[in-house]
A and B are shown apart, each in its own frame.
Chain A
């Protein structure tokens, strides 16, 4: 047996093996993921509330009632007469909150179901549900601070930047 004969069989075997396995039909495997809608937690709020919109909505949010034309006019004029809107809005909200007829949930109600309170409050003021992080953060904050009241939460949200937009 010469040198060439001694190499033929191993090489032939390797070639046959490659051909055998490479001819196997490849399976179509498709990996998929569920559709996830990626949005900002705050939604897309590109419009600033007008002067009358801000007052009317704030009034409805606090008093669960529509504002009268007289009160709207009484508030609109000073609103337009000061250049720092954040300050004048803060003043309006603090006057609303100090009104005896303001409709605020009690501390007991808030703490009986904090998740529900947060969700309802976000929908009331921001017209959206809180995302999971917001829900966790606010629940943790309320649970760990006995002195946080519904009034403070309302005041904070109504004087936040998001409340000025829709």
Chain B
């Protein structure tokens, strides 16, 4: 009997010892158990509304020669308006991964914020969207930070937007179980890394370590007296002091670089568009912080509401910028051969044009939820042996809501969140 009792107690103690380490500081009982495919994901929202007719179907020639195979010449009537940027590297992006040519933004209004929100939450917006509020469903950033073990700081999660408006609100949701505590660092580089911002923010007082200690002591006293009246989300995402110091160093360096002209023509293309600027800043963030999850967008193609030819030119530039981003990933220690790049528009554009004609005689195009405006593509690029190479999926497969579970699968926490998401990982893309 004593022997049986001993064995029972020993088994209980052993089981307890095995379980206890999995009660994490975040309050979760179990750590993420999934296996990662790679350690970094860069999701590029190739946004602004890209029609499959101009991208995948190349009705005006191959406007995206960095992404797509093919040497179809650009339509002669608009060719002179398309900048000649050439290609980067010997392989096209589609050769380095899997291309879902008939992807779908299947439900919800084909609006930019709606499309962005769906791409970042994995949930379609089927009710009215209040662009002044945060999404109700958790974002991929929150899933990642809450369900990754060991827990990661916001320096590992970045949302880099090319515009302000409602987009800053997409770095975390209002979901009561997630929120600011698990949010991403948001930055809109064009509004902060420029001469004007440098003039007003580029000369901060530098305090000595001993002074910072005194400040911390006093601030702690003030904050303690005000405890209970603070809503964490009011201050946005939180970076502890050491992380904030790294961000400060990055911002001050960016100020200095912008001031010295580094941001004017960094790629030697002779010009710098909004999309290029955003992607260049994303590269800088990548090189500095090597984040595990970074989302960056481009939206210049939305000029298509009033000028089709400029849309075609912007599509060409965005293609070049995406290839440049991939090239930078491959030259960034820690991220090279350890990163999967996903690129997809947030939605498409209508089949029928509006009545605005540009100087080349082309009609502009809106996006108002017709069937064509739901047709998009999704490109998954990654290392050999991880991502299926040179795979061209021509049948309709995959939706916008599948991107969040796909990222969760890549970073090894899909088992934790899959039950909360309507979409499925794009398993066809992975070896």
* B168-A75 in contact (CB<8A): no
- By a CB distance below 8 angstroms, the chain B residues around A161 are 222-223, 226, 229-230
Q: Which one of B180-188, B282-290, B315-323, B378-386 is at the A interface?
A: B180-188
Interface centre among A92, A145, A151, A162, by most B CB within 10 Å? A162
Q: 1/0 contact trace for A127-157 toward B, CB 8 Å?
A: 0000000100110010001011001110111
Given A75-B200, A80-B191, A83-B183, A164 and B235 touching (CB < 8 A)?
yes
Q: Which residue of B lies closest to A134 (CB)?
A: B225
Q: Which one of B18-26, B108-116, B208-216 is at the A interface?
A: B208-216
User: How many angstroms between the C-alpha atoms of A153 and B219 in the bound complex?
Assistant: 9
Given A81-B164, A147-B210, A92 and B223 touching (CB < 8 A)?
no
Main secondary structure of the interface of A (DSSP, over half): helix
Interface residues of A in 10-63 (CB under 8 A from B): 40-42, 44-46, 48
User: How many angstroms between the C-alpha atoms of A160 and B226 in the bound complex?
Assistant: 9
User: How many angstroms between the C-alpha atoms of A165 and B235 in the bound complex?
Assistant: 11
Q: Is B171 engaged at the interface, CB distance under 8 Å to the other chain?
A: yes
Q: Is B371 engaged at the interface, CB distance under 8 Å to the other chain?
A: no
Interface residues of A in 91-130 (CB under 8 A from B): 91-92, 94-95, 97-99
Given A48-B234, A83-B171, A74 and B199 touching (CB < 8 A)?
yes
- By a CB distance below 8 angstroms, the chain A residues around B214 are 145, 147-148, 152, 156
Across the interface, A84 reaches (CB within 8 A) one of B189, B199, B236, namely: B236
- By a CB distance below 8 angstroms, the chain B residues around A151 are 205
* A156-B235 in contact (CB<8A): no
A100 to chain B, nearest CB (A): 10
Across the interface, A90 reaches (CB within 8 A) one of B168, B187, B237, B244, namely: B244
* B200-A83 in contact (CB<8A): no
* A82-B186 in contact (CB<8A): yes
Interface residues of B in 187-208 (CB under 8 A from A): 187-192, 196-197, 199-207
* B222-A162 in contact (CB<8A): yes
Total contacting residues, chain A, CB less than 8 A = 47
User: How many angstroms between the C-alpha atoms of A82 and B193 in the bound complex?
Assistant: 11
A126 to chain B, nearest CB (A): 8
Interface centre among B190, B205, B230, B244, by most A CB within 10 Å? B205
Given A82-B187, A83-B186, A162-B226, A95 and B237 touching (CB < 8 A)?
no
User: How many angstroms between the C-alpha atoms of A48 and B233 in the bound complex?
Assistant: 11
User: How many angstroms between the C-alpha atoms of A64 and B60 in the bound complex?
Assistant: 61
Q: Is A66 engaged at the interface, CB distance under 8 Å to the other chain?
A: no
* B215-A83 in contact (CB<8A): no
Given A147-B214, A162-B226, A81 and B191 touching (CB < 8 A)?
yes
Across the interface, B226 reaches (CB within 8 A) one of A42, A48, A83, namely: A42
Q: Is B238 engaged at the interface, CB distance under 8 Å to the other chain?
A: yes
Q: Which residue of A lies closest to B165 (CB)?
A: A80
Q: Which residue of B lies closest to A71 (CB)?
A: B200
Q: A45-B226, A147-B210 are in contact. List 13 more A-B contacts (CB 8 A).
A: A41-B225, A77-B191, A78-B192, A82-B185, A83-B159, A85-B235, A86-B238, A94-B204, A98-B204, A152-B218, A156-B214, A156-B222, A162-B225
**Closest 7 CB pairs between A and B?**
A83-B186, A94-B204, A81-B191, A156-B218, A160-B222, A98-B205, A81-B188
Interface residues of B (CB under 8 A from A): 154, 159, 164, 168, 171, 183-192, 196-197, 199-207, 210-211, 214-215, 217-219, 221-223, 225-226, 229-231, 234-239, 244, 247-248, 251
Q: What are 15 residue pairs bridging A and B, where the CB atoms are less than 8 Å apart in the complex?
A: A74-B199, A78-B191, A81-B187, A82-B186, A83-B168, A92-B201, A94-B206, A95-B201, A95-B204, A141-B221, A151-B205, A156-B215, A156-B218, A159-B215, A165-B229
